Amino acid sequence: MRNAALVLGIIGGLWGMVVGFFSYGYTELVAQYQGLAETFGMPANPEVIRFVSFLAPVLAIAGGAMARSANVAGGILLLMATAGMWHAFGFGVFTMFPLGFCGLAGVLALLARRPDPH
């Protein structure tokens, strides 16, 4: 289970980086061009989106990397990343896989009782 948490956490963090790049970029774009903000809308709290765009993928990758050696700490980091992405981005077509991967990895890391056999 620790190996699965490692793989899912890192994949979820990488997908979270893609979502974060586009979300951060969108907030910067509509801040620079008011016409876009009027047409497509400005997020309610762009500072939260910018902060989570950076922090959640870092937590997910770090939690995935820690899943084999320190499974409880890694699982907590993965679940924190999941909660941050859910809060900032919501559940949608581009966020369902990062949320699912990071959430499942966090649960698997917390449920792992003994080291995986090699």
Within a 10 A sphere around the Cβ of 28, how many other Cβ atoms? 12
Confidence label for 38 from pLDDT (cuts 50, 70 and 90): confident
Which pLDDT belongs to residue 17?
A: 96
Place of tokens 């990343």: 81
Give residue limits of the domains in the chain: 2-111
- Using a 10 angstrom Cβ sphere, with 0-12 exposed, 13-18 middle and 19 or more buried, the burial of residue 104 is middle
State the Cα–Cα distance between residues 114 and 94, nearest whole angstrom. 34
Global pTM value = 0.89
Angle (nearest 5°) at CA 43 between 9 and 14: 15
**Using one digit for the tens of pLDDT, what is the confidence trace for 55-88?**
999 999 999 999 988 999 999 999 999 999 999 9
Confidence label for 118 from pLDDT (cuts 50, 70 and 90): low
Would you state the structure tokens that stand for residue 111, as one six-digit string?
């449920």
